[in-house]
Structure 1
């Protein structure tokens, strides 16, 4: 059984580890990170050329099933996967970790997009902890009244805010470390995307009583969805049977 795993997340690597000895799994990575964490099994790096290119790949490689375990904000890739699998009659499962839920003590302001977050930001704070990934930093380039501490795995490209300090780091992070970072830089608002997973920065923001601008996830295509690697592995095993 040949499986294409659209990866780049912790859940994708976990799934590859679970099924690498049972199926021929190839993980596809977008190639945006120079030194990605590699999963078990075969790896391909780079795009497919849209939905049509992915459909050709599925046919040429005789792929039996696809698991979309991309980042929750990789909307274009998820849409292409759904179109390609539908056109090729290849089973598709979407693996997405659950999003975050506000708890008592949280002050969250949910928005639909990064531009909406940038527009709302000046009313919430002036010293910003920006954790939207390097590609999201450009949306705040015009916010000259704010200071930004942006954290990303790699340096940003394109326009950036005038007052910007970049911390290059990769998680997981601890609540104590996040609390120290926020306090040391006198940050008074957190901007993040509802990626789910570890929430140390959200706990620190709650403890320090600073507001959070939370960018909501884009909608998923109308495919089956599971929230854990174990559930996705069980689905693949059911196809084998």
Structure 2
């Protein structure tokens, strides 16, 4: 039985580790990485890097490589590959599961402003008269903030940004998990007055939200795109591993 994991996330790597640790007989796992990070943390199992050529290309790959199960464990904001996975799985008649870490929940004391897109987030920065901004939306999509000439941006990302960027900007290359003490120090040292983040969820980057709450700073939270209708969703790698295990037990080739 062949499982394809669309990965690149902590959850995808954990799922691959769980499947490898279980050592179910006859289970083959392929991890697909987009290739956007120069030094990814590779999970156990077979590795392929790069795109598929859209939904049609992915459907062809599923058929040619006899994939029995597809797990979309990509980043919650990887909307294109998620939609392609749904179309390809339907076309190739391969069961699909989405693995998504839970969204962040606001608590008492949070000063959050919801945004439906990076463009909306940029508009909110103007409305808030932001002066010094910690921007943690990743290296892609900075073009939405490029027209803002007044605020100063501290852009934190794993890889150096490319494309249009804000004119007043400093880049901080860093990979989570981050600590609460570290986030407190970062906000204070750079005199940040607004935080902008995507609702990526998970614990690795959540301390910035606590630090912002303690400092009374407004946080602009960009909502994640929805998973395509009809695709089942689980929140934990352990749940996804159970789904694979149950399908594996029913697989005709394993009887």
* TM-score interval, normalised by the smaller of the two chains: over 0.9
Partner of 1:34: 38
Residue 173, structure 1, aligned to residue 178, structure 2: yes
The runs of 5 or more residues in structure 1 that have no matched partner are none
* TM-score w.r.t. length of structure 2: 0.93
**Shift in Å, 1:219:** 1.3
Q: 2:217 aligns with which of 195, 210, 217?
A: 210
Stretches of 4+ aligned residues off by more than 4 angstroms: none
Tell me how far apart the structure 2 counterparts of residues 205 and 227 of structure 1 sit (CA, whole Å).
Answer: 26
Within-5 A mapping of 1:2-21: 2-20=2-20, 21=23
Q: Which runs of 5+ in 2 are unaligned?
A: 250-255
Tell me how far 1:47 sits from its aligned partner. Answer: 0.1
Tell me the TM-score normalized by structure 1.
Answer: 0.99
| Secondary structure at 1:118 match in 2 | helix
Question: In the aligned structure 2, how far is the partner of 1:12 from the partner of 1:210?
Answer: 32
Please give the alpha-carbon distance, in whole angstroms, between the structure 2 residues aligned to 1:74 and 1:159: 20
Deviations 1:132-176 (A, max 9, x none): 000022211111010000000111001111110000010100011
2:124 counterpart residue number = 120
* 1:146 aligned partner: 151
1:183 match: 188
Equivalent pair of 1:122/1:145 in contact (CA under 8 Å): no
Instruction: Report the RMSD for the aligned CA atoms in angstroms.
Output: 0.7
1:240 shift after superposition: 1.0
Moved more, 165-174 or 118-127: 118-127
Contact 1:137/1:150 (<8 A) preserved: no
Deviations 1:8-60 (A, max 9, x none): 11000000000123321111011111101111111100000000000000000
Give the whole-Å Cα distance in 2 for the aligned partners of 1:104 and 1:75.
30
SS class of match (2:86): helix
The answer (yes or no) to whether the contact 1:96–1:228 under 8 Å persists in 2 is: yes
CA distance in 2, matches of 1:59, 1:71: 24
> Equivalents in 2 of 1:92, 1:232: separation in Å?
11
Deviation at 1:123, TM superposition (A): 2.4
Question: Which whole-Å CA distance do the structure 1 matches of 2:92 and 2:48 have between them?
Answer: 20
For this pair of structures, how many residues does the alignment match? 241
CA distance in 2, matches of 1:108, 1:182: 16
Alignment partners' CA distance in 1, 2:158 and 2:15: 23
241, 244, 253: which one pairs with 1:236? 244
